[in-house]
Amino acid sequence: MVDFSYTYLVRHIVPGPQSFSYFVPHILTPLSLLIPRTVLSRWQSIAIFLPVILLSTLHAWVVMDGVDVISVNAVLIALLFLPLKDPHTQFKLIVRNVIERSSLQQSAPGDALQEETALLSPSDEAPPPSSPSKPAAHRTQAYPPTLRERLPWVNMLLISIRFNDWIIAIPSHDRTQPQPPAFQRRRQFFLQALLSSVRGLLTIDLTHAYMTTDAYFTDPNISLYSPLPFAPVSGVAAMGVRSLVLGAQIWAALSQLFYFFATLPVGLNALGLLDDLWSPHTWGAYYGSASAIFTHGLRGFWGKYWHQTMRITTSAPGYALADVLGLKGREWKRYAVISIVAFGCSGVVHMGLVPAEPLWATVSPNRLRLYMGLFFWVQPVGMLGEMLEESLWTRSTGREVWERGWMYRVRLVGMGLSVILWFTACLPLIGEVGRQLGWFKFSILPGLRGEGWITWPILQS
């Protein structure tokens, strides 16, 4: 009989809380925000709350025999709100009125969205735009003086994962606020959700169908370079095919099915049961234009195309370190510090996907955590390599040649191919974790292929 007890799930399937200490940061961080500076100074608040948060989280990790995504993110949030920034004096909530929401939904999200999603922009010291460039029909709310006003303010801060509609004393973020909504109307959102869901479901079904025929994805003892099931292809070429299959499934599961799950709150909003504030169609875009990959390579992928859910929490320690080191403006050293710290933190967060006792793993969970972390830790290497390459090319040919004419078109193709090659080399790190944990033994959408909804006979022959 299969054991579906809570202990079984958090030990073998996905890590989760196994002690009360796990929840301490989720209690103390909001409490530290609710206590005004008239009661505790900033440094008193740090001295009282931060050690307890860190020690309790460490105890929770010891009990879990490892980290998990939520607890690592809770530590990053505590660091952001306590030593790195002071929400009491630096943060302001942008409150929109009905008129502004209506006018924003009638305007297309243009370049402002692209800039907002730029990860770790070297130009983070640039000042915010002048007030005429922003909608006038909104106001900012600083830390409220009364508890009645403070409770919703703090609650809004804690649930604002991307800090949209917040001024948080990070210029590269603040100058893009408030953001225009990703969709002008709900109808556009539902159309996008339909198209994305179809693309996502088809891609997931196709990739899973292939994975069931390629023993590499289900047998940890099969080499990454072993021959493919449908052709006598092995070595680096086989690795490339498997990386592309894995990348396609990750892309479909994360970027395409996001809109599918977001249709529920948008539907409730259409029925008048949910305020516009909570309807995803009024939020800034979660994913940017894929054209950024061709114009900016890896920097465009991570900074403009891919989701920015943990952008602020993972990069804030890097901004602080760069400031301490005296690195300012567009210096590549500042960009390097922020990038390395951000992806370092992101790697630790994603290590939390590995449980303490994986069911099918043939290697230790710590090795799997290392593989997962390495995928993110090597990304700054590729990004800084792109910056070096761009610098060398522009010095030898001039920036105008680099940005216009036939050289520009060659660069677009080269950037796209280089990103594909980069992920072909890096994705096997995630692939090794996935097959060791048994992710590919089951479809992300159970029964999709098994019920014969979509079949791919060519792969079953």
Residues in the chain: 461
To which residue do tokens 């010891």 refer? Answer: 62
pLDDT band at 448 (very low <50, low <70, confident <90, very high): low
pLDDT of res. 256: 84
pLDDT of res. 313: 93
Which of 60 and 273 is assigned the larger pLDDT? Answer: 60
Q: Alpha-carbon torsion 21, 26, 28, 29, what sign?
A: positive
Q: Could you read off the pLDDT of 7-43 as tens digits, one per residue?
A: 999 999 999 999 999 999 999 999 999 999 999 999 9
Enumerate long-range contacts of 327-334, CB under 8 Å, 24 or more apart: 328/125, 329/122, 329/123, 329/125, 330/122, 330/123, 330/125, 331/122, 332/122, 332/384, 332/387, 334/122
Q: Could you read off the pLDDT of 195-248 as tens digits, one per residue?
A: 988 998 888 888 888 898 999 999 999 999 999 988 888 899 999 999 999 999
Q: Could you read off the pLDDT of 276-288 as tens digits, one per residue?
A: 878 888 888 888 8
To which residue do tokens 């969709």 refer? Answer: 183
pTM (predicted TM-score): 0.85
CB contact at 8 A, 94 and 165? yes
Q: What percent of the chain has pLDDT over 90?
A: 51
Mean pLDDT lowest for which of 17-31, 345-359, 435-449?
435-449
pLDDT band at 453 (very low <50, low <70, confident <90, very high): very low
Q: What percent of the chain has pLDDT over 70?
A: 85
pLDDT of res. 113: 33
Instruction: Report which of 101, 7, 88 is spatially closest to residue 43, judged by C-alpha positions.
Output: 88
The answer, yes or no, to whether residue 393 has pLDDT greater than 80, is no
Instruction: Report which of 292, 302, 287 is spatially closest to residue 376, judged by C-alpha positions.
Output: 302
pLDDT of res. 119: 47
pLDDT of res. 328: 83
Q: Alpha-carbon torsion 428, 430, 436, 439, what sign?
A: negative
Give whichever of 330-334, 364-368, 386-390, 408-412 has the largest mean pLDDT.
364-368
The answer, yes or no, to whether residue 104 has pLDDT greater than 70, is no
pLDDT of res. 327: 87
Enumerate long-range contacts of 194-197, CB under 8 Å, 24 or more apart: 196/255, 196/256, 196/257, 196/258, 196/259, 196/260, 197/256, 197/257, 197/259, 197/260
Q: Could you read off the pLDDT of 123-139 as tens digits, one per residue?
A: 454 444 444 444 456 78
pLDDT of res. 402: 66
